[in-house]
A = this chain, B = another copy of it.
Amino acid sequence: MTSLRSFLQQSKQLVEKRLPEHIQSLQAPEQLKKAMLYSLNAGGKRVRPAIVFATLQSFGAPLERGVDVACALEMIHTYSLVHDDLPAMDDDDLRRGKPTNHKVFGEALAILAGDALLTYSFQLITSLEKDSVSDKQKVELIHEISRAAGPAGMVGGQVADMAGEDQSLTLDELLYIHHHKTGDLLTASVMAGAILAEASEADCKLLRQFSKELGLIFQIKDDILDVEGDSSVIGKPVGSDVDNKKSTYPNLLGLDGAKEKLSEHMSLAKEYIYGININHSMLIGLTEYIANRDH
């Protein structure tokens, strides 16, 4: 049994090796490929790929089967960051300590690089080897991921988040934003692993419930880190949410209340996972890692 640490490292290596291969093989203007690669190479925890791989492993399926889908999810996540950072949106100059895409390539190319990453992610899934992924699975994958990334998912969450800025939100409104802005793509990552592993319908149902808890754990921890994290580890100033009068778990429930919520969702997440007859350890380990991370 590999340890979580080496598993995370392995999954990071798998996507970080494959991502540039995909971009370099594109017949596209060099400057566009550079802009796409710049943000894909900017690092990050590669949480979505890790989720795909952990789900595959829990069903005993080969990790290799998930590499390209993991790349597609990382491309979509990256596109969303590039567009979020734009002057018209969050207007961020730095991301993970490096200049944001539009600071390096200009706004126009940053918009187009985001568009290209999003569009290419779907092409990538259609191009998977027929021997390992059937057409039925490809359609399911694209359905799941496009729904999670689109107007009823991530983009909708982002719009709701923008609309809610400088307003005090209820916990329900905050939940809506979190479910869609971050949660849906994490759910899609779990479900992508499940589709690739040919999980049963019953298992898929429990995994979907688990993944919603995972999304909340991810977001609540994010909010907590913004209050008590170490800015040199996180790579962005802490306390920015408080300054922005942003509605967050700690702002709504207090820091202790937020931590209590985190552990409630952790218990629920485990309950769902233990309800499935799989090798639980990696999914549980990954969930605990997300709940306990320092950045």
Contact = CB atoms under 8 A, between A and B. Distances in A.
Interface in A76-116: 79, 83, 86, 88-89, 106-109, 111-112, 114-116
B156 A120 contact: no
Contacts of A83: 111-112, 115
A115 B151 CA distance: 8
Interface stretch (A26-34, A191-199, A218-226): A26-34
A152 B111 contact: no
B163 A146 contact: no
A143 interface: yes
Interface string A170-204: 00000000000000000000000000000000000
Contacts of A120: 146, 150-151
A126 interface: yes
Contacts of A116: 150-151, 155-156
A131 to B, nearest CB: 14
A123 B125 CA distance: 13
A136 B126 CA distance: 10
Nearest to A157: B29
A138 interface: yes
A242 interface: no
Interface of A: 26-29, 31-33, 36, 79, 83, 86, 88-89, 106-109, 111-112, 114-116, 118-120, 122-123, 125-127, 134-136, 138-140, 142-143, 146-147, 149-152, 155-156, 158-160, 162-163
Contact of A119 (B33, B108, B109, B149): B149
A153 to B, nearest CB: 8
A34 B216 CA distance: 29
B115 A143 contact: no
Given A123-B143, A151-B26, A32 B156 contact: yes
A119 B119 CA distance: 8
Contacts of A108: 88-89, 162
A135 B27 CA distance: 27
Contacts of A138: 135, 139
A13 B158 CA distance: 33
A150 B123 contact: yes
Nearest to A128: B139
Q: Which 3 A-B pairs have the closest CB atoms?
A: A88-B107, A119-B150, A126-B143
A3 to B, nearest CB: 37
A31 B152 contact: no
